[in-house]
Amino acid sequence: MENLNTLILDGKEVVINNEKNVLELARANGITIPTFCYHSELSVYGACRLCLVDIEGKGITTSCSTKAEPGMVIKTNTAEIRKMRKMTLELLLANHDMSCPTCKRSANCKLQDLARQMGITEIRFKKTHKPKPIDTSSESLVRDPNKCILCGDCVRACREIQSIGAIDFAHRGANVEVLPSLGHGLGKVECVNCGQCAAVCPVGALYPKSHIDQTWDKISDKTKTVVVQVAPAVRVALGEQFGMEPGQVSTGQMVAALKTMGFDQVYDTSFAADLTVIEEANEFIKRKLAGEKLPQFTSCCPGWVKFAELYYPDLLDNLSSCKSPQQMFGSLAKELLPEKLGVKKEDLVVISIMPCTAKKAEANREEFKKDNIKDVDYVLTTQELATMIQQSGLEFNELQPESFDMPFGFKTGAGVIFGTTGGVTEAVLRYAGEKIANIRPEDIDFKIIRSNQQLREAEYTLGDVKISLAVVHGLRNTRAIAKDIQNGTCKYDLIEVMACPGGCIGGAGQPINNEPDARKKRTKGLYNVDKMLQLHTAQDNHIVSEIYDKELGEPNSPKAHELLHTHYHSQPRLVDSDVALTEITRKDAVKVQVCVGTNCFVKGSQDLLKKLIHYVEENNLTGLVDVSATFCLKKCGQGPNVAVDNEIISGCDFQIICDKIESKINITS
């Protein structure tokens, strides 16, 4: 070969252009090698054994884990390889729940696609599938172990993108399966509801929990007035379910579909995002000028908020107290719309359409209820909206565009760009630039913020005020920042965090799209919407200004705090998961729970636990004292925490526990 950087691929000479492996080289040259477990953004795993190729001198090997080297002679489609791939698929199908017509992923399932592609018409192996219970404990996701093919995609996404590891492999050999921590339900472990596990799952083993039936029930109930809000990122992804390109804006058809389906009013969450900009920016300006509680984190992403509550409760004061746009809208709608629409508050139903699975859990938080009435009643994903449109028999592409209803349908470009990573920060800077130094958005360079790097840093000078900020997406990337804050070395004033890659446009509720540039195209679509709007700063939204004049007063006023702000608190990583460490022989045994969550652990709870067990054994108290490790007593800043017969003692030491146990035993005796 004349070119020293070429190899032979299926009989043709091809150039190697920095592809990571043979698999990507083949794809770059128009050859699709099947795979379940390969994702370019995750580590190479090589578990599915479908991406086999035959390399001269090396034999049959996995293309995902083999680097392309000059001079290689590679065959991707030999009779032997086809036979091996077919056998692998048949073995998977023999151990699979074959309820394909009713599966959530029936129209977009890799197992179905590859079985059809390989020409599988029968399964030669004995069925081994034994039904397992479906896990519905999460408010956001459903886990169906009967569909799992053990590809490990969910495990790596949770660990490598979010650094959580809420789900992992358990057991060995034929008994291996993917489970949440300690075999508990997904809703009982340290899951942040982001759904990235479901986004990469190639089958129907993980998927967003549906609120479709509840929504149809409310629409059909003539005593209810049902309003719907639509998040910015939905409009640049919904069309993909109907054959459109990623990023193509389908707002008009979407609104037309919602009105035809029976929603009484159709509003835009971008309106509430404008409101969020004003509240959050004013909160930030106050903090910055006073030098207090900095850096300020954004609080729009519920996946990030729960991550902070689970892992960094000592940083919760650094989060903006603003509710997310979804919850701001719900609160404002329940406050103002009953009078405007002439309905009772309890008869007003607020539905959200979001790109995000974590929004389902967010809507159910106790903080977002008033007089036991939820601010947002149900949350649908973009995928669920597409399903409802199909259920309605609507030809989406042929619908005549319609517009959002007023007043909550009016927005500026600042609210629209909330749907992509960096959008919240840019919207806040557009506001702060004018308020602090009379600088308009066109005079600020947002190029760094708009890049797709996982962590971006920038500095801006607004008059006499210097602002240092960071934009991060993917929760794994926030850990180093959090550590710097804890160490007192953080240099940022404002930090935007989005749990999902690319921000909301990459949410797990969006259409499944394996196109490499899909997220970039969705982002471009949002910025194009921003360009086409006449107004680009939240302060230019006259409807928002009217609401301040008539209802809220000033930004961050007591009324604004009542409706638009909230508070956050530490959460246990495992729910109802005490681990017994001593033998219990009496029902009236003194119950001692030692918290071994992160904050208590670093403050010495493990040593405390060891001493306590030794104390029980040495003093012949086995059976009289029930010692267990628990994972959170919700007083993380005051650890180590110990509960004795449910009485929580913070800042506890060994002698205090001993004294408390002895007094309890004496009383019992």
Q: Which residues are catalytic?
A: 280, 283, 300, 320, 359, 362, 367, 504
Beta strand spans in 522-611 (E): 579-580, 590-595
Q: What's the per-residue H, E or C state across 101-158?
A: HHCCCCCCCHHHHHHHHCCCCCCCCCCCCCCCCCECCCCCEEECHHHCCCCCHHHHHH
- Residue 279's φ and ψ, nearest 5 degrees, are -65, -45
Do 573 and 189 meet the contact criterion of CB atoms below 8 Å apart? yes
Nearest to 396 by CA among 237, 241, 211: 241
φ/ψ of residue 584, rounded to 5: -105, 125
Interatomic CA distance for residues 304 and 478, integer angstroms? 9
Output DSSP code: residue 410. Answer: -
Cα 417 from Cα 424, distance rounded (Å): 7
Torsional sign, CA 478, 483, 486, 489: negative
- Report DSSP letters for 247-267, one per residue: T---HHHHHHHHHHHT-SEEE
Give CA angle at 21 (17, 25), nearest 5°.
50
Strands 647-649 and 642-644, by their bridges, are antiparallel
Which SS3 state, helix, strand or coil, does residue 569 take?
coil
Q: What is the DSSP letter of 565?
A: B
Distance between CA 476 and CA 482 in Å, rounded?
A: 11
Length of the chain: 669
Buried b / exposed e along 575-596 (16+ C-beta atoms within 10 A): eebbeebbeeeeeebbbbbbbb
Tokens standing for residue 97? 């729940």
Q: Which of 265, 362, 266, 238 is nearest to 309 (CA)?
A: 362
